[in-house]
Amino acid sequence: MSRKYKFWDSNKMYFISFATVNWIDVFTRNEYREILLDSWKFCQKEKGLEIFAWCIMPSHVHMIISSHGNKLEDIVRDMKSFTSRKIRQAIESQPQESRKDWLTWMFERAGKSNVSNKDWQFWQHNNMPLEITSQEQYFEMVHYIHMNPVVAGFVNAPENWMYSSAARYEKNNWKIVLMELG
């Protein structure tokens, strides 16, 4: 991994992105998005995760995070591992999931082709953390995160995307906001 993409100081803010393998649209069901949000809430409460901005897209996630507890790389690793297992269980037990066989086959195929996994891979391995070094950069990243659903054509305004911190930013006149998801 490049030296550029590492968490050097967990107390600083980082922009991160992570995606499902093959950019598979999984977060189209509320149940799967809620697993991710519940994991973030747990990490906030138990591991010191601080979330400043976020957006869940169908195949990927963007966040601005820091930590006042555990190392960010450990928090992100644990969160991705936990959500992978829980989403797998949800996919396998979801009677309404019309893509169950295909999703299972894709994630198993990705896992078997990666020596780091045994039988299943949900997330791509990279997070590409980028340290935020100025307030200007912070607001550029927040704008990028919140505009994702608009650029994708899902909504006309960022605050209309339900799985994003955009509405909270709009409400607080774009001040830097620490998100309490719990």
Cα separation of 87 and 60, whole Å? 14
Q: What is the pLDDT of residues 4-18, one digit of tens each?
A: 557 778 778 999 999
Between 72-93 and 30-47, two packed helices, what is the crossing angle to 10 degrees?
150
Question: In the chain, pLDDT over 90 holds for what percent of residues?
Answer: 70
Cα separation of 77 and 87, whole Å? 15
Q: What is the pLDDT of residues 59-111, one digit of tens each?
A: 999 999 999 878 999 999 999 999 999 999 999 998 888 999 999 999 999 99
Cα separation of 96 and 110, whole Å? 23
Cα separation of 110 and 113, whole Å? 5
